[in-house]
A = this chain, B = another copy of it.
Amino acid sequence: MIVLPADRFRELGVAIFSALGAPRDRAEFVVETLVEASLTGHDSHGISYFVRYADRIRKGFIDVGAEPVVAKESASSALVDGRWAFGQVTAMRVMELAVEKAKTQAVSAVGAYNCNHIGRVGYYTAWAARQNVVAMMFVNVGHPAVAVYGGLGRVFGTNPFSAAVPTGEADPFLLDYATSVVAEGKVSVAKAKGERIPLHWIRDKHGKATDDPRAMKDGGWLLPFGGHKGYCLQMLMEMMGAVMTGSRSGLDPETEPPSTNGVFAVAIDPDWFVGLEAFKQRAEMVLRGVKATPPEPGCRVLIPGEPEWETREKRLREGIPLPEETWDQMVKLAEELGIDPRYYETG
């Protein structure tokens, strides 16, 4: 494991995407979302994507210069054609439109299609909450990895859901998770470390429970979280992310690009409803009440988002850890792209 300050990764990431032809402001934004994912502890959606996105750019799946366009628009709604730009650029456009419209219409809904991988969904909802709007993002992944409840084999993607709520606290309430028991990246991390995983995470290719993370790549699949209740939520993401926007479903033939997201955002302005100050005061009352709850022995009671904001502070102070193998891949890529060594030499 190497540990480097966030800024070092930021500079390297911008150098990589710039060398691959991305306009500087766009490279900076995409890198910012990936660094934020790593800072908040979502390593599976973080800076390791420098290398994966570089590969997708070279293969023509991500068009670094493309500009998402608003294909349809009303006072409260929009449908965005992402035109295979960086998914992050499309998702941010979706959320900016949603916030802007919610502030004049009380509620808004904005969807997107032709959208690449958008990274950590909580980036966009948390941003909206900091603009004093409640935001939800329903996302499907056009790459099946998860079974349905009671079924065998891969049907849907990890279909994440995120919701963020402004509160009286500095950081928003943030729900942000895959509707599978865990994100696929957690299985990969266990595999890389040679560790066993809990029996309720995945099934092997025969549908048998297993604690061997290698079974995932060998034809296995993830399970939805929370039994039939999580499965219902997983399928709601498919309805909103894929069906409502016209994006690729996990049930469509898997064509290229290999990893797509269908994105649907809803934003609500609390100021129109109960009033912003009243909303924040009451939200804070709820958060404080939860924090005052006595914990089960050996547990902490955490507010949704709290682990993220805690990890962020720690990693801003101590740096972001990265497996050496991943770092070596980044260095190799940087060398191929002729990037100034000061961006990737650790000494």
Chain A residues close to B by CB (< 8 Å)? 72, 74-77, 79, 105-109, 111, 134, 147-153, 155, 163, 165, 173, 175, 177, 179, 207, 225-233, 235-236, 238-240, 242-246, 249, 251, 266, 268, 270, 272-274, 278-279, 282-283, 285-286, 289-290, 293-297, 299-304
Residues of B within 8 A of A105 (CB): 74-77, 105
Question: Do A270 and B299 contact each other (CB < 8 Å), given the known contacts A155-B290, A289-B251?
Answer: no
* A82 CA / B232 CA spacing, docked (Å): 30
Residue pair A301, B150 in contact (C-beta under 8 Å)? yes
Residues of B within 8 A of A242 (CB): 282, 286
The 10 A-B pairs of least Cβ separation, nearest first, read A226-B226, A251-B289, A150-B299, A107-B109, A151-B293, A77-B106, A175-B232, A232-B304, A151-B301, A243-B282
Residue pair A76, B232 in contact (C-beta under 8 Å)? no
Residue pair B236, A165 in contact (C-beta under 8 Å)? yes
* A233 CA / B230 CA spacing, docked (Å): 10
Residue pair B235, A301 in contact (C-beta under 8 Å)? no
Residue pair A285, B150 in contact (C-beta under 8 Å)? no
Residues of B within 8 A of A152 (CB): 293-296
Residues of B within 8 A of A302 (CB): 149-150, 228
Residues of B within 8 A of A282 (CB): 242-243, 246, 249
Residue pair A249, B285 in contact (C-beta under 8 Å)? yes
* A296 CA / B293 CA spacing, docked (Å): 40
Choice from B75, B108, B155 contacting A293 with Cβ under 8 Å:
B155
* A79 CA / B107 CA spacing, docked (Å): 12
Choice from B74, B134, B177, B243 contacting A286 with Cβ under 8 Å:
B243
Residues of B within 8 A of A278 (CB): 246
Q: How far is the CB of A246 from chain B (nearest CB, A)?
A: 5
Choice from B74, B109, B150, B245 contacting A296 with Cβ under 8 Å:
B150
Question: Do A236 and B109 contact each other (CB < 8 Å), given the known contacts A134-B244, A273-B79?
Answer: no
Q: How far is the CB of A274 from chain B (nearest CB, A)?
A: 5
Residues of B within 8 A of A151 (CB): 290, 293-296, 299, 301
Give the residue name and chain of the B residue nearest to A303 (CB): B235
Choice from B148, B274, B286, B289 contacting A246 with Cβ under 8 Å:
B274
